[in-house]
Amino acid sequence: MRNSRTTWLVGACISVWFTISANATVFEWVPVSASGTHTIEENTILLQSGGQTVTLHFMVSDWDPDQTGVTVGSFQGTVDPAGYLGVNADTPRPYIDLGPLGYPVTPSDGAFQALKVCSDDLVPPLFETFDPLSNCQTNADCPTGFVCVERPDYVYFGLENVPTVTHSTLAYSWSSATPPPDCPGTDRTTKYYGGTLILDVPADAIGTYTIGFVDDSNFTLLNNCSGELQDGLTAIPVEITIACATEQDCDDDNECTDDACELDQTCTNALNYDDQVYCCDPLLGPPAGLTEIDDQNECTLDVCNPSDGSVTHSPLTGADCGGPPTPGDPCDAQDTCNAQGECVENFAHYPTPCGNQTPTDPECDAPDTCDGHGNCDPNNEPIGTECGDPVPTQCSEADSCDGQGFCDPNNLPFGTPCDDELFCTVDERCAGGECSGGQFTCDDDVDCTEDSCDEDNDLCTNVPDDDSCNNNQWCDGEEICDVDLGCVTLSGSVPD
């Protein structure tokens, strides 16, 4: 409600267009008259007060929407009764609704008696059973909620046709059909009459009512002469506004709106809170009546009920939630919401195959499987699991799995001293798990001996080699190898 001072902006009554399909025949509600003081501008009518009846005409124009030679074999326009609801439809205050005259139908009328056709010459005789008025020439000669087929601008004026108006529900429906070859052809300019609707505007009505058509091709439609539904239909509603003089005239009994009477005598009831964030209790208004709509739960549908400011959070069972699954990962699927409004992780069950299915080392690795928590388990044996050669050596521990799927020989560090238990090697060291060292030469530091190591007998041999001492000088005498002295001249071998 919350009245505010008059806003110095000039408001305008703007027709709201909705399109069943673009580039189309036009169906529109055109205001014709009212029982009290009023002004009409195109598809709007401004009443100086409530307590009036307003007459609207259903008009048809611009058929053959970009389709050559389209005819009008039949048409139907159905009023959308949602437009009858007053501005207080979502508040505890009783509705201030428009009332279409002629409804409800009395039980004695029957469904067929709700078909109102006004003509002074009923052809075919079918209509005689409906007991319509005769000798009608104008709308004034016809009953409430009708189609006057004697109007020269009637769509099928002068043609054989079957017009009907249905009053059995609030969604009044005007329709008519004509057989070929009488179907009217292309017409892009003239507005043709299709029916009349008279509405009762209550004395305490305020604001603007928008009366349109049912946006459904089963109820609002145009068929060509062959009975084919024509694509494309633009529907233009009418706006009925009750003029205001003071802000009190615009009071909608809603604490969640700021009411103002604009300079053009139209009411505005602007929300005084952010309806994208909050739901407002119309009895309390902000701030006490505000409730946050979003519960920060992606698995609930948050809905504001403006009639009492309550918010519901309904579970979005089966809806996607959470982050997207890892592409190509068979262990993780899209998370979904459950019936309790919780986001449930959808992991593949253990032991669903994944990853590497060909182990590199069967003793320390098995085919990968899903662990049931969204991860692909490589199934490697724990560190220290026996594998390979279980017997330790001087240069390695017993083989064991490294935890990465491989069998580790557990070699001691390079250069670790070791003993290969061989007589003929010296300075043994570990290298790659093997003990090895330098060869013992058994060198006696005598140049003319042949030194060797006898591994079988664990000893060194130093065999003299006299030939290595021969200098080929006869005058020097004969040279021999002494194991202690090296090359010496044989005594008595020097010539005189």
Of 64, 66, 68, whose CA–CA distance to 222 is shortest?
A: 64
Over residues 340-387, the pLDDT tens digits come to 999 998 898 999 999 889 988 889 999 999 998 889 999 999 999 999
In DSSP terms, 432 is beta-bridged to none
Of 464, 363, 81, 349, whose CA–CA distance to 237 is shortest?
A: 81
Of 7-11, 51-55, 301-305, 423-427, the range with the lowest mean pLDDT is 7-11
Boundaries of every domain in the chain:
18-250, 273-347, 348-440, 449-489
- Kindly list the distances between the CA atom of residue 487 and the CA atoms of 155, 467, 483, in Å, as whole numbers in the listed order: 145, 10, 9
pLDDT at res. 287: 95
pLDDT at res. 316: 96
pLDDT at res. 175: 87
Q: For residue 133, is pLDDT > 50? A: no
Two structure tokens written together for 109 = 């009328």
Q: Using pLDDT thresholds of 50, 70 and 90, give the confidence band for residue 143.
A: low
pLDDT at res. 134: 42
How far apart, in whole angstroms, are the C-alpha atoms of residue 173 and residue 348? Answer: 56
Phi and psi for 82 in degrees, rounded to 5?
Answer: -60, -25
Q: For residue 95, is pLDDT > 70? A: no
pLDDT at res. 250: 85
Over residues 397-450, the pLDDT tens digits come to 999 999 999 999 999 999 899 988 888 888 889 998 899 887 777 888 888 999
Over residues 284-320, the pLDDT tens digits come to 999 999 999 999 999 999 999 998 999 999 999 999 9
Q: Using pLDDT thresholds of 50, 70 and 90, give the confidence band for residue 154.
A: confident
Rounded average pLDDT over 45-70: 81
pLDDT at res. 6: 26
pLDDT at res. 69: 61
pLDDT at res. 81: 87
Task: State if pTM tops 0.85.
Answer: no
Which has more pLDDT, 11 or 185? 185
What is the CATH number that goes with domain 18-250? Answer: 2.60.40.680
Q: For residue 111, is pLDDT > 70? A: no
- The DSSP result for 203-254, as a single string, is TT--EEEEE-B-S-TTTSEEE-TTSPBPS-EEEE-EEEEE--SSGGGG--S-
% of the chain surpassing 90 pLDDT: 34
Q: Using pLDDT thresholds of 50, 70 and 90, give the confidence band for residue 96.
A: low
pLDDT at res. 117: 57
Q: For residue 36, is pLDDT > 80? A: yes
Rounded average pLDDT over 252-257: 90
